[in-house]
Structure 1
Amino acid sequence: MEFYDSDGISTEVDEETNIVSAKCLRCICVAESDCNINLKCDDSVCGPYKITLGFWIDAGRPTVKDNDYYVEDYEYRNCSNDMKCSARAIEAYMQRYAKDCNGDGEINCDDFIRIHHNGPLGCTKSLPENVKKAYEECMQQQG
């Protein structure tokens, strides 16, 4: 399965092996930045998923392509601004930290958005209202 951002860029997701679905990735992206692929880096986050350096490191430092010459800050920024690499980072992060954050007895996208936004130690906290609203509307629209 794949999803397309607002500019038509595709991100493929292997629904058989990945715990984060294409729908979930799409709605995390929408909730964080309205999936704005033109959003680059500021002081603490990069890309349309607003990935932090710590998140990227915890995800195993994925890169857009294999490089003989590795520069951490460059690779972090490059991956965070690439939809496919970001999706791999989010999948790896959720594989590592997945848990039931909202106490409903399931581990699903409702937990992943909280882990993504608040971190694994803060995932029981509520999301900021604007993030929560955008996420819920996206999930309803995606069916």
Structure 2
Amino acid sequence: MNPKVFACFAGVLLALIAVVNADVSHLVQENPVTEVCLRCICDASSGCDPTVRCSGESCGMFRITWAYWADAGKPVLPGDAPESQAAYANCANDPQCAASTVQGYMRKFGQGMMSVSAGNTVTRRELEPGRDRE
């Protein structure tokens, strides 16, 4: 084999090995939960009723607790601050902000969970804070 061709082939092979072995664990999927999955979680939580507000320890159509919201990174509505006393309820009661909360929580704790196939179900209890996350 021609030495130049061999050198080129070896370089390409080494580059491929580097790409295959690259650590991509630091790359976070922007939205780990699909729209279909969000809808399913919402349906299981409240029937996706947009009129649901705070009741007991949870708020909104995703029935988000303060701990879940905090674990998700305390997302807020525009003009709100995470430190604001009303920030949690304002976000959890807003469909968009609540969905962002679920996305943030799953980015942090959902490794492996989102590989569940469409034919299987994940219960809401399995998505709650404090559950074992394997």
State the TM-score, normalized to the length of structure 2. Answer: 0.65
2:38 matched to which residue of 1?
25
Distance 1:108 1:119, change over 3 A: farther
Distance 1:36 1:106, change over 3 A: same
Q: 2:131 aligns with which of 113, 121, 142?
A: 121
SS at match of 2:53: coil
Structure label with greater radius of gyration: 2
Q: Please identify runs of 4+ aligned residues in structure 1 that moved more than 6 A.
A: none
1:57 matched to which residue of 2?
70
Per-residue deviation, residues 70-120 of structure 1 (Å, max 9, x unmatched): 413x1100000101101111001000001346xxx935674584543x335
Task: After TM superposition, give the deviation of residue 20 of structure 1 in Å.
Answer: 0.4
Residues 74 and 82, structure 2, Cα contact 8 Å, conserved in 1: no
Task: After TM superposition, give the deviation of residue 17 of structure 1 in Å.
Answer: 3.1
Residue type at the aligned position of 1:65: P
State the TM-score, normalized to the length of structure 1. Answer: 0.61
Name the Cα RMSD after superposition. 2.9
Question: 2:44 & 2:31 partners in 1: Cα distance?
Answer: 20
- Check if 1:37 corresponds to 2:50: yes
Provide the identity percentage. Answer: 30
Task: Identify unmatched segments of 5+ residues in structure 1.
Answer: 1-15, 125-143
Residues 98 and 112, structure 1, Cα contact 8 Å, conserved in 2: no
1:4 matched to which residue of 2?
none
Residues 46 and 77, structure 1, Cα contact 8 Å, conserved in 2: yes
Give the total of aligned pairs. Answer: 104
SS at match of 1:76: helix
Residues 49 and 86, structure 1, Cα contact 8 Å, conserved in 2: yes
